[in-house]
Amino acid sequence: MSEKIIAGNWKMNKNRNEALDLVSSVLQDLPDTSTKVIFAPPYLYLEEVARMCADFSNVKVAAQNCSHFDKGAYTGEISAQMIASVNADMVIIGHSERREYFGEEELILSEKVNKALKYNLQPIYCVGESLDQRKAEEHFDIIENQIAKALFHLDEENMKKVVIAYEPVWAIGTGETATPEQAQKIHAFIRKLLTDQYGEEIAKSISILYGGSCKPANAQGLFAQQDIDGGLIGGASLVAEDFVKLIEMRS
Ligand code: PEP
């Protein structure tokens, strides 16, 4: 069975004090749940956030990116090994903002996935179509391509460790959300791709998250869908009360 997950992607927000305050507030009000809760703060705070979460077995810490190189003369880069060494558990790979602003494409993203797995970090691999691609009805092809090229070289053992996040680009940070039906259609499509490639048992064990302006006001319908295992949350993860509410709703 796939895990229920609520993951907060803070992006480039919060100074150190604000970051630690946010984590304390969420942990203080954390519902008694088996839902996996993930904080993805900026790199700088990973170690401290991981320390704060160490006693909560269902709370994990993720980086927002990692280098596709192992180590060496790559000024400004952060490797998967470094991330693992400060006790983070996971890493977001292929967020649409990385694809759009930093030109990351599947070839590099598949290497990032490999590096994450090499150092025992669970990848949260993001996919999603732009508004133009949806209008042109290309969204299924785009998503198939994003998944096949970056993930389908993995063997079964490694594939089982991957979490997939469907994030329609037109819904990220825009206030626009996919309707529960639109989101479910894509999630079911992703589950089918996984089934065709790895079989039903593995496909059912992989968590597929929805992301894109998901907040307490619209999460109920999304989380009620059969193939939506949880959310990758941007804006609403920056407000402790909203993030806790989303955890409650997914519990
Ligand atoms: C995200 O960045 O992953 C995201 C879903 O952002 P928001 O919730 O703000 O749309």
Distance 173 CA to ligand 1 centre (A): 5
Under a CB-based contact definition with an 8 Å cutoff, are residues 43 and 78 in contact?
Answer: yes
Mean pLDDT value across residues 146-165: 98
Query: At 232, which helix (H) or strand (E)?
Result: strand 230-233
- Answer yes or no: is pLDDT of 65 > 90: yes
Residue range 67-95, pLDDT digits in tens: 999 999 999 999 999 999 999 999 999 99
Residues 6+ away with beta carbon under 8 Å from 17: none
Q: Which amino acid is at 150?
A: A
- For residue 175, what pLDDT band results from cuts at 50, 70 and 90? confident
- For residue 165, what pLDDT band results from cuts at 50, 70 and 90? very high
d(CA 192, CA 172): 24
Residue to substitute in 98, 218, 232, 238 for testing ligand 1 pocket (most ligand atoms within 8 angstroms of CB): 232
Q: What pTM, to 2 d.p., does this model score?
A: 0.97
Q: Which amino acid is at 11?
A: K
Query: At 53, which helix (H) or strand (E)?
Result: helix 46-53
- Answer yes or no: is pLDDT of 176 > 90: no
Question: Using a 6 Å cutoff on CB, does residue 213 contact ligand 1?
Answer: yes
DSSP 123-174: EEEEE---HHHHHTT-HHHHHHHHHHHHHTTS-HHHHTT-EEEE--GGGTTS
Question: Using a 6 Å cutoff on CB, does residue 109 contact ligand 1?
Answer: no
- Answer yes or no: is pLDDT of 238 > 90: yes
Task: Report residue 89: phi and psi, to 5°.
Answer: -110, -25
Question: Using a 6 Å cutoff on CB, does residue 233 contact ligand 1?
Answer: yes
Residue 24, pLDDT score: 98
Q: Which of 59-73, 172-186, 187-201, 222-236 has the lowest mean pLDDT?
A: 172-186
Residue range 212-229, pLDDT digits in tens: 999 999 999 999 999 999
Residue 177, pLDDT score: 87
Distance 112 CA to ligand 1 centre (A): 21
d(CA 147, CA 145): 5
SS3 content of the chain, % helix, strand, coil (to 5): 50, 15, 35
- Answer yes or no: is pLDDT of 173 > 90: no
Residue range 105-152, pLDDT digits in tens: 999 999 999 999 999 999 999 999 999 999 999 999 999 999 999 999
Mean pLDDT value across residues 146-171: 97
